[in-house]
Amino acid sequence: MSAIIWQSVSLFFMIFLGFIMKRIGFLTKSDGTMIAQIIMNVTLPAVIIVNFATITIEKTLLLFTIGGFLWFVLQLTIAFCYTRHRERTSKVLFLFGTSGFNIGNFTLPFVQSVAPLGIPLVSMFDVGNNLLLSGANKIIVDRMIGDSKKIKIKSSLIKLAKSVPFMSYLIMFIIRYFEWSLPEFVLTLAQPAAASNVFLSMFMIGLYLEFRLPKDSIKEVVEVLLLRYGLGAIMITLIAFSPLDNLTKSMLSLLALTPIPLFSIMLAVVSGVKEEVLGFAASISFLVSLPLMTLVLLIFH
């Protein structure tokens, strides 16, 4: 139990270190963007390669992928119903702020550091999450708010093909589905990059933390967070009373508490939301999720 707490404290320290480095002017938020590119294109794919190398693809794991996709759709549906009478910008804020799972930059590094046995489950869930987050989410939101009249499947597939994490998941899924093995030198090359993913992810979050928010946006940000974590609390309650094993329950509960994806902020800004509004909400969500996820692990431990 103490090991979980100290691991979580070390993760918080990494975030705090990144924030302090930005505050004293040693680094800037743009450096966080550069680190994010390294994570998405180098260290996260390396984590996927290393962690999938010995996974046996079973029906249970496939259900996690389906669950990740359907859960994302549920979040979008609830957010759409909640904001059906609001103006366009508010709808965009809620649709992007309450949907999607920050797995590659937050949950996976957390699990990688604190509960490595859960990595296969979280990774397979992220495959379903990535289907929407890396490809179709923006297109679906545009359709919901009336900016587009049709779903562009070709555009979604092109975006997915350009997503290095998703393609890494897809390739490794195929390799392990047919029970092929990677050459040992590939794993040897990938392991150092994979090992650095935890620190880079948490440090990057610290660089992205923002605590400036226009007063007229405070109410909406609070609503976004309450809706996001309220749905998460309901899902955790249902999961707790399910017949699932403890590991599965704990991983699903962690996923219910994931913070707002950084990718959603970029998509929301493109759709007209002020960066400081959803950026502030995301910053708060990081600081809320870390202790809550630690508490979940302590309970199931």
- Quote the pLDDT of residue 135: 65
Across residues 189-207, what is the average pLDDT?
Answer: 93
Sign of CA dihedral 273, 279, 282, 284: negative
In 3D, which of 217, 256, 262, 213 has the Cα closest to residue 233?
256
- Quote the pLDDT of residue 148: 60
Give 233's pLDDT tier (boundaries 50, 70, 90). very high
Give 210's pLDDT tier (boundaries 50, 70, 90). confident
Distance set, CA 28 to CA 36, 37, 264 (Å)? 13, 15, 21
Distance separating alpha carbons of residues 11 and 198, to the nearest angstrom: 8
In the chain, the percentage of residues whose pLDDT exceeds 70 is: 96
- Quote the pLDDT of residue 25: 92
Mean pLDDT computed over every residue of the chain: 89
Provide the 3-class DSSP secondary structure of residue 259: coil
**Does 105 have pLDDT greater than 90?**
no
Q: Enter the pTM of the model.
A: 0.89
The CB-side HSE value for 44 (13 A sphere, CA atoms) comes to 28
For the domain that residue 217 is a member of, what is the CATH number? 1.20.1530
**Residue pair 228/97 in contact by the 8 Å Cβ criterion:** yes
45-55 confidence digits (pLDDT tens): 999 999 888 88
Name the residue range of residue 206's domain: 2-300
Domain count, the chain: 1
- DSSP label at residue 217: G
237-259 confidence digits (pLDDT tens): 999 999 999 999 999 999 999 99
